Amino acid sequence: MASDKRKPARPGLSQDRVLHAALTLADEVGVESLSMRRLGEALGVQAMSLYKHVANKDDILDGIVDLVIGQIAVPEINRNNPGDNWKRAMRRRAVSAHDTLLRHPWAPMLLLSRVNVGPASLRYVDATIGCLRNAGFSYAMADHAWNAIDNHIYGFTLQKLNFPFQPEEYATVAQSFLPQIPAAQYPHLNGMAQQVIDGKHDGLADFDFGLNLILDGLERVLR
Amino acid sequence: MASDKRKPARPGLSQDRVLHAALTLADEVGVESLSMRRLGEALGVQAMSLYKHVANKDDILDGIVDLVIGQIAVPEINRNNPGDNWKRAMRRRAVSAHDTLLRHPWAPMLLLSRVNVGPASLRYVDATIGCLRNAGFSYAMADHAWNAIDNHIYGFTLQKLNFPFQPEEYATVAQSFLPQIPAAQYPHLNGMAQQVIDGKHDGLADFDFGLNLILDGLERVLR
DNA sequence: TCGCCAGGCTTACAGCGTAAGCTTACACCG
DNA sequence: CGGTGTAAGCTTACGCTGTAAGCCTGGCGA
């Protein structure tokens, strides 16, 4: 009977369990509040015990970034749909990345501030280059294209996540900021704010706008 | 004579002096090593004395970001050159921003992770909107255009700063990474690396490539 | 049965931002 | 001239961080 309690209520740690707990914790409290002590607590364990399964905190951050990348839809052309093509596939990839990063608001900053060479990252990049290569881009062009699209995804998502107001607040916020941007000093900024106040411009940043500029441009490069 | 030593060898602190010292220190040791104690030391002062001149560390970070933005060339059409136009002006702005951020490698991350409403930032944004408005863009279009261009600037610069190898090392690095990206598993990534090794692709990310896609696209939108 | 050792725990250290309160020197005023 | 208010420095202390070093213990292989 004693041998029955192989898993004594706590399954024991593992790198996998540590990383998934870290991902959950980062989603709940933000990556800036993810500390080794707190992560240990979430796992019912002392902070130092984590170091038996990960090298250090950076190792954890690399790990959870790769988990997030693994959630992004890899670009693939749907062979059952004759109308599908590289452009649609790359758009789906971009939208999927954008959506995924919005679900993990701490991720874009980490993505941009470290080299990501986890298995999910490698697979993601490989599929992207493959999609562009199959479309007819040279290696160099595929490299540049991939880079341009990803800059847009990361830059846009970060700016959006960072903006501290909700769309429905824009008009109110613009109104209250107006005294700080007098027309005499900042005529165009003032004018823009006025447009938002008057409901003539919603002030919404549009992910597709920039993405279309890039994808349409790439299509022209291809011809 | 005693009244002569108004400035007793050390000029005394001021918000300006604190911010400029912080900027210098950030450039020298990186923003992650910029601590209140270290900044105090650089100014010959205890850490807590800084709080008489700035509200807290975030206040300092906001301040040095605005100092950096102040170094970026504001977009202006040269009236003495009849061939000049909004597109050239916006390109100059983008290149200037890119160059400036490369001189302050810690800055892009801060730029993207906080709301910047310092005087230099406001002026910078106002001039940008103004340039686009004068070119004929609506407020909404100018907003989208500005956003698309800045996403590229920040995203590209961050990726470049973050990449831990020098261009002349690319071939060597690609060679040593090759075993980790076997052709069977990552065919396209492997192929790309092979191109770099063989000198058929320099692997250099090209700031102008993505910028041109966006600017050319905007020009077409304008017509 | 013995010894090994993986996987936990404990303690400790240097560094962080900053709250709270103390000290000093100078400006001003009656 | 004496007295007072205040700006600008200093000191101490608190709770937090990542992690180095070493200890303990239960289970497994020989």
SS3 string, A110-151, reads HHHHCCCCCHHHHHHHHHHHHHHHHHCCCHHHHHHHHHHHHH
Report yes or no: B102 at the A interface, CB cutoff 8 Å: no
Residues whose CB is less than 8 angstroms from the CB of residue B45 and which lie 6 or more positions away in sequence, other chains included: B13
Question: Which residues of chain A (36-55) touch nucleic strand D at CB < 7 A?
Answer: 36-38, 47-48, 51
How does pLDDT run across B58-69, given as a tens digit for each residue? 999 999 999 999
Of A112, A159, A213, the CB nearest to B158: A112
Radius of gyration of chain B (CA): 23
Confidence of residue A159 (pLDDT cuts 50, 70, 90): very high
Confidence of residue A50 (pLDDT cuts 50, 70, 90): very high
**Is residue B11 scored above 90 in pLDDT?**
no
How far B183 CA sits from the closest chain A CA (Å)?
Answer: 10
Output the pLDDT for position B10: 56
How far B96 CA sits from the closest chain A CA (Å)?
Answer: 18
Residue A33, judged by CB atoms within 10 A of its CB (0-12, 13-18, 19+), counts as exposed
Q: CA-to-C1' distance for B13 and D5, Å?
A: 21
Nucleotides of C under 7 A from a protein CB: 6-11, 15-21
More confident residue, B145 or A8: B145
A204 and B142 Cβ atoms separated by less than 8 Å? no
Report percent pLDDT > 70 for chain B: 95
Output the pLDDT for position B12: 83
Name the average pLDDT for chain B. 94
**Is residue A1 scored above 50 in pLDDT?**
no
**Is residue A10 scored above 80 in pLDDT?**
no
A200 and B195 Cβ atoms separated by less than 8 Å? no
